[in-house]
Amino acid sequence: MARVELDGVGKRYPNGFEAVQAFSIDIQPGEFIVLVGPSGCGKSTTLRMVAGLESITTGELRIDGRRVNEAAPKARDVAMVFQSYALYPHMTAFENMAFGLKLQKVPKADIEQRVRKVAEQLAISDLLDRKPKAMSGGQRQRIAIGRAIVRAPKVFLFDEPLSNLDAKLRLQMRVELSKLHRSLGATSLYVTHDQVEAMTLADRIVLLKGGVVQQIGAPLELYDRPDNTFVATFIGSPAMNLLTGERTAAGVTGAGFQVAFQGAGQVGQPVVLGVRPEHLRPVEAGAAVFSGTVEVVEPMGSESFVYCRHGEQLLVVRTKDAPPSPGALMHLAPEPGRLHLFDGATQGRLG
Amino acid sequence: MSAHEHTDPRPPVRWATHALLIVFTVGTLFPVLWVIKMALRPSQDFATGLNPLPTEFSLQNFADIVGDPLFGRQLLNSTVVSGVTTLVGVFLACTAAYAFSRFRFPGRRAGLAAFLVTQMFPGTMMMIPLYQLMDWLGLLDRMLGLVLVYSTTAIPFCVFMLKGYFDTIPKDLEESALMDGASQFTIFWRIILPLSRPAIAVTALFSFMTAWNEYILAATFMSDERAYTLPVRLQAFVGDYTTEWGHFAAGALIVSAPVMALFFALQKHLVGGLTSGGVKG
Ligand SMILES: Nc1ncnc2c1ncn2[C@@H]1O[C@H](COP(=O)(O)OP(=O)(O)OP(=O)(O)O)[C@@H](O)[C@H]1O
Ligand SMILES: [Mg+2]
């Protein structure tokens, strides 16, 4: 277990592209940090800088208080699980897992014992004599994870380890990773673009966009108090409804709606109003804030997503009740106290 | 014409393909069979007639060649020269190709281009300058001289061949090994080389054949009969006035035997697909 500090870490590639800018986070020993963001936002780059596979252009990286910017990967004592698994094709699963220990000159008997123990933990004991070629994707992924665990490194790095698995296997592996983390308690940095993985695995989520950190916080913190409209729409599915309008004394007024709102913002200020789909409730016509016709209904089983046309805007409503049929008129009002208000200019959170 | 044939024009195409392949196979095999026929005939005349199948079965020609007092010595020359050329060629080609494939350094492109350029000149063009060079270095009639010349001939091709193969090995594997604590040399030795067995086998075969079959340079540099390699010895059966065709044919078969043996020995390594399964996507 180790503390990992990124202090204004930035990466500029030789072609001049700024992939990551001023990334700062203090990761506590045993913490599970998930990096999320759209494709190309610099998640892998950040991970590879921590791994030592990519040089750090600016800032400082410290592991257990020691600066490791210039340290070679093997001096950092971190292990990485690659999206492609990257198992050595000419070695058996056992040899794959033992490779790192062998290089560290760990006695043979110890290697044997450690590999067997981890294999048992991951339920891959009967695969140890097989080569990667003779394994399924899920089995290879387990071996790759086992190879990282067996070295008992200070820090675990995962780069989209589950993205090559089918949906069912991914869910299963996600649960197992979660259990594994609880039993190992190792500091982990996990990259994904799957927000469900992020929400379920993370102690804290880091949301990146274009190489810039948007928000760092516990999953529900990002969900309940997004720092800006990007975070608001990225976390949560279906995404938060955003409506542009203007701050008035009583609340917010926009195209075809008026809603009461207390607190932040100055009268006359352009704002963006955010409402999560589950915080929009069908109401009587008299109490309606938004009214519109239902365009699409997506039944999910336990709940339904209803897409309702309000002027220019398509509002998403999440409801557990029997959904209206398309074409029906729907009257909606947000739950009081569940509104998000963002600055219309900066897109930053007002309240 | 049946409806089936009408809608499916493939069988005629297939027959044509087979016919063409048969013609080429016969064309390739015919001279080989002829050589075998000549080798098995006790006489030394040139075999004529269309029938390529042996009609007599005598091992006299083989016995004559193997019985030659210098044969053992010349076989040893050929073996040592070819073996050392293969070792030197493969070792240097592997290391050079890895550097060209994985590292970016000044002169990389120029180096690759230079290798290509050397391949554009026919070997005979280099004969006279090479002879002078060998003379200055005192390497005429020495096996070391041939090894040097053959290695430099084989290496450019081998480097290209191996570089192409190394390029296909995913970078993830090396990074994974780096994370496991491997040094650059360990990665090369324990990851890259084992994975490149098919390409190395081809390279080795090529280097060996380059050295084993080469005649012109060997004949130029080696004037002492005791320094001959087998192809040079073989050529001596072809005289200005008479040619011992039987001995020549038997010798040719003896010389080609090791190459064939090597080919079969390496065959299982020549099969690709060794890297499959390591990385996904
Ligand atoms: N070697 C490089 N040279 C220049 N630019 C690069 C290099 N590697 C990556 N980039 C750029 O840096 C940005 C971040 O890349 P990175 O691989 O970190 O993205 P990512 O967040 O992991 O995306 P994904 O989810 O698609 O894996 C991308 O825009 C990419 O094009
Ligand atoms: Mg990535």
B35 CB-side CA count, 13 A: 15
Judged against a pLDDT cut of 50, whether residue B139 lies above it is answered with: yes
ipTM of the complex: 0.86
CA torsion, points A48, A50, A54, A56, in degrees to nearest 10?
140
**A293 vs A332: CA distance, rounded Å:** 11
Confidence at B6, pLDDT banded by 50, 70, 90: low
B182: which chain A residues are within 8 Å (Cβ-Cβ)?
74, 99, 103
Architecture of domain A239-343: Beta Barrel (2.40)
Cα of A239 vs its chain's centroid, Å: 15
- For residue B193, the chain A residues in CB contact (below 8 A) are none
Residue corresponding to tokens 């219309």? A344
pTM for this entry: 0.83
Instruction: Tally Cβ neighbours within 10 Å of residue A211.
Output: 22
CB B237 within 8 A of CB B61: no
Residue B115 has pLDDT above 80, yes or no: yes
Long-range contacts (CB closer than 8 Å, 24 or more residues apart) made by A64-69: A64/A2, A64/A3, A64/A154, A65/A3, A65/A5
Ligand whose nearest atom lies closest to the CA of A46: 1
Q: What is the dihedral of CA A222, A227, A230, A231, to 10 degrees?
A: -10
Per-residue pLDDT band for B47 (boundaries 50, 70, 90) equals: low
**Other beta carbons within 10 Å of B194:** 14
* Interface residue A161 vs chain B (CB under 8 A): no
Residue B194 vs residues A24, A212, B96, B162: alpha-carbon distances, Å: 42, 42, 17, 13
Lowest-confidence region among A12-21, A236-245, B160-169, B236-245: B236-245
Report d(CA A2, CA A31) in Å as an integer.
Answer: 9
Work out the average pLDDT over A101-124. Answer: 94
Q: How far apart are CA B210 and CA B201, in angstroms?
A: 14
User: What is the arithmetic mean of pLDDT over B145-174?
Assistant: 92
Quick one: which of A209, A192, A210 has its CA closest to A201?
A: A192
Residue B2 pLDDT greater than 80, yes or no? no
Higher pLDDT, A223 or B118: A223
User: Of A235-239, A260-264, A327-331, B178-182, which gets the smallest average pLDDT?
Assistant: A260-264
Question: Which is higher by pLDDT, A320 or B49?
Answer: A320
Stretch (H or E) spanning A159: strand A155-159
Give yes or no for A73 touching B (CB within 8 A). Answer: yes
Confidence of residue B278 (pLDDT cuts 50, 70, 90): low
Nearest residue by C-alpha to atom 28 in ligand 1: A40
Q: Across residues A271-295, what is the average pLDDT? A: 92
Nearest to A90 among B177, B178, B274 (CB): B274
pLDDT at res. B275: 47
Q: Is the pLDDT of residue A267 over 50?
A: yes
Strands A187-191 and A155-159, by their bridges, are: parallel
- pLDDT of B3 reads 45
Please say if the pLDDT value at position B1 is more than 70. Answer: no
Lowest mean pLDDT among A4-18, A214-228, A301-315, B54-68: B54-68
B49 touches chain A (CB under 8 A): no
Which helix (H) or strand (E) segment holds residue A100: the answer is helix A93-103
Distance CA A78, CA A50 (A): 8
Q: How far is CA A256 from CA A40, A252, A291, B171, in A?
A: 37, 11, 9, 56
Radius of gyration over every alpha carbon of chain B, rounded to an integer in angstroms? 24
Residue of chain B whose alpha carbon sits nearest to that of A147: B180
Establish if B191 touches chain A: CB-CB under 8 angstroms.
yes
Answer yes or no: do B179 and A104 touch at CB < 8 A: no
The 3-state secondary structure of B195-221 reads HCHHHHHHHHHHHHHHHHHCCHHHHHH
Which ligand is nearest the CA of A17, by number? 1
Q: Which residue has the tokens 């990385």?
A: B279
Question: Which residues 6+ apart lie within 8 Å of B134 measured at CB?
Answer: B140, B145, B149, B221
**Does residue B242 have a pLDDT over 90?**
no
Question: To the nearest whole number, what is the mean pLDDT of chain A?
Answer: 93
At A158-183, the pLDDT tens digits run 999 998 888 888 999 999 899 999 99
Residues 6 or more apart from A252 whose CB is under 8 A from it? A245, A246, A258, A259, A261, A271, A273, A341
> Whose CA is closest to A130, among A113, A141, A143?
A143
pLDDT band at B159 (very low <50, low <70, confident <90, very high): very high
> For residue A6, what is the enclosing H or E element?
strand A4-12
Cα separation of A244 and B215, whole Å?
A: 85
CA A192 distance to own-chain centroid? 6
Q: What is the average pLDDT score of chain B?
A: 86
A18-67 per-position pLDDT tens digit? 999 999 999 999 999 999 999 999 999 999 999 999 999 999 999 999 99
The distance of A91 to chain B (nearest Cα, Å) reads 9
Q: CATH 3.40.50.300 in chain A, residues?
A: 4-230
For chain A, first and last CA: distance in Å? 37
What is the identity of the amino acid at B163? K
Average pLDDT over residues A64-71: 95
Nearest of A177, A255, A229 to residue A350 by alpha carbon: A229
- CA–CA separation, A178 vs A32, rounded Å? 9
Q: Inform me whether the C-beta atom of residue A152 falls under 8 Å from chain B C-beta atoms.
A: no
Q: Please state, in angstroms and as integers, the Cα–Cα distance from residue B83 to each residue in A67, B73, B75, B249, following that order.
A: 52, 15, 12, 24
> What is the distance of C-alpha A339 from the center of its chain?
23
Predicted pLDDT of residue B235 = 85
Q: Is the predicted pLDDT of residue A261 greater than 60, yes or no?
A: yes
Closest Cα in chain B to A105: B181
CA of A39 to the centre of ligand 2 (A): 7
Three-state secondary structure call for residue A21 = strand
Angle at A91 between CA A85 and CA A96, to 5 degrees: 55
Pair of tokens at residue A68? 């490791």
The H helix count followed by the E strand count for chain A is 9, 20
Alpha-carbon distance B239 to B236, whole Å? 6
Give the rounded percent of residues in chain B with a pLDDT score beyond 90. 40
Percent over 70 (pLDDT), chain A: 100
Take residue A137 and report the two structure tokens written for it.
Answer: 């994707």
Name the closest-CA residue to atom 30, ligand 1. Answer: A40
- Nearest of B204, B188, B197 to residue B100 by alpha carbon: B188
Predicted confidence at residue A203, as pLDDT, reads: 96
- As a whole number, mean pLDDT of residues B150-162 equals 90
Task: Identify residue B162 by its one-letter amino acid code.
Answer: L
Q: What is the DSSP string of A110-154?
A: HHHHHHHHHHHHTT-GGGTTS-GGGS-HHHHHHHHHHHHHHT--S
Instruction: Report the residue of chain A nearest B181, measured CA to CA.
Output: A74
Best substitution site from A9, A15, A34, A41 to test ligand 1's pocket, by max atoms within 8 Å of Cβ? Answer: A41
Ligand 1 is surrounded, with C-beta below 6 A, by: A 13, 15, 17, 19, 37, 39-45, 193
Chain B 232-271, residues with CB within 8 Å of chain A CB atoms:
none
Give me the pLDDT at residue B8, please: 57
So what's the pLDDT on residue B9? 57
Q: What is the assigned CATH class of domain A4-230? A: alpha beta
| Amino acid in the structure at residue B202 | V
